[in-house]
Amino acid sequence: MEILGIDVGGSGIKGAIVETESGEFVKERHRIPTPQPALPDAVSEVIAQIVNHFNWQGPVGCTFPSVIKHGMIYTAANVDKSWIGINGETLLNTKTNCPFLLLNDADAAGIAEMELGAGKGQQGVVIMLTLGTGIGSAIFVDGHLVPNTEFGHMELQGEEAEHRASARIRKEEDLSWKKWASRLNEFLTQMEALFWPDLFILGGGVSRKHEKFLPLLETRANIVPAQWRNQAGIIGAALAAQRFLTTSRENP
């Protein structure tokens, strides 16, 4: 089945038509810079441009950097706070005339990895972390997602973890891989103390350079790079939309 997946990020909004059996893109990904400020009207207009770029008229899976329940946006990380309290699915449906499924961006990336990537077939507790502008998180228990976790906002050395150990901080503070890995180890140690995971999957753009820092990490759990890298959000959004569509048809 082919589904349009869209991934809303702090710097770019990306979309592609996904073949949901394989996770492969049917056509080349299309990216438009995220408007600044990232206001609802401006962002939804860019999403509509991506839908029109693919001449798409079916269901759309779309990630968003937020806690989301039944389409309602409750937080706003790396987008404008005016999103809070808006039903994003209703807004985007009105803007595009397409049915939307909106979900947390890290949850979408985790779905892609668990169904078609590095976590496929893994039982027990799996934690997916996306290391980028912030630290996104998704946790799975025997393959089942616990949605809307926000582990990147946990306190670490007196500040939010993502303000200390994200990939953005590594660049901004010009940290060596060794020093950044030490900070990331602090975060992973705290996660292990709370959840005792069997596997960590590390995603985000920095996972392309995993050989520079993965050997420096010390965890009880196995730890692997994400297979789908920065494509995971788009793929996971499409997979989630397909699942929602199938469930809706079975339970009208």
Q: Which domains does the chain have, with CATH numbers?
A: 2-107+231-250 (3.30.420.40), 121-226 (3.30.420.40)
CA angle, 239 as apex, 203 and 94 as ends, to 5°? 110
**pLDDT per residue as tens digits for the range 146-183:** 999 999 999 999 999 999 999 999 999 999 999 999 99
Long-range contacts of 80-87, Cβ-Cβ distance < 8 Å, separation of 24 or more? 80/37, 80/38, 80/39, 80/40, 82/39, 82/40, 83/38, 83/40, 83/43, 86/40
Is 0.85 topped by the overall pTM? Answer: yes
Contacts of residue 141, defined as CB under 8 A and 6 or more positions apart, other chains included, come to 124, 125
* Residues 170, 176, 177, 183, Cα dihedral to 10°: -60
CA angle, 128 as apex, 124 and 133 as ends, to 5°? 165
pLDDT of 51 over the 90 cut: yes
**pLDDT per residue as tens digits for the range 66-111:** 999 999 999 987 789 999 999 999 999 999 999 999 999 999 999 9
Model pLDDT, residue 93: 96
pLDDT band at 215 (very low <50, low <70, confident <90, very high): very high
**pLDDT per residue as tens digits for the range 114-149:** 999 999 999 999 999 999 888 999 999 999 999 999
For the segment 207-230, the average pLDDT, to the nearest whole number, is 95
Query: Which residues lie across from 22 on neighbouring strands?
Result: none
List C-alpha distances in Å: 55 to 16, 17, 30, 99, 152: 11, 11, 12, 14, 36
For the segment 221-247, the average pLDDT, to the nearest whole number, is 92
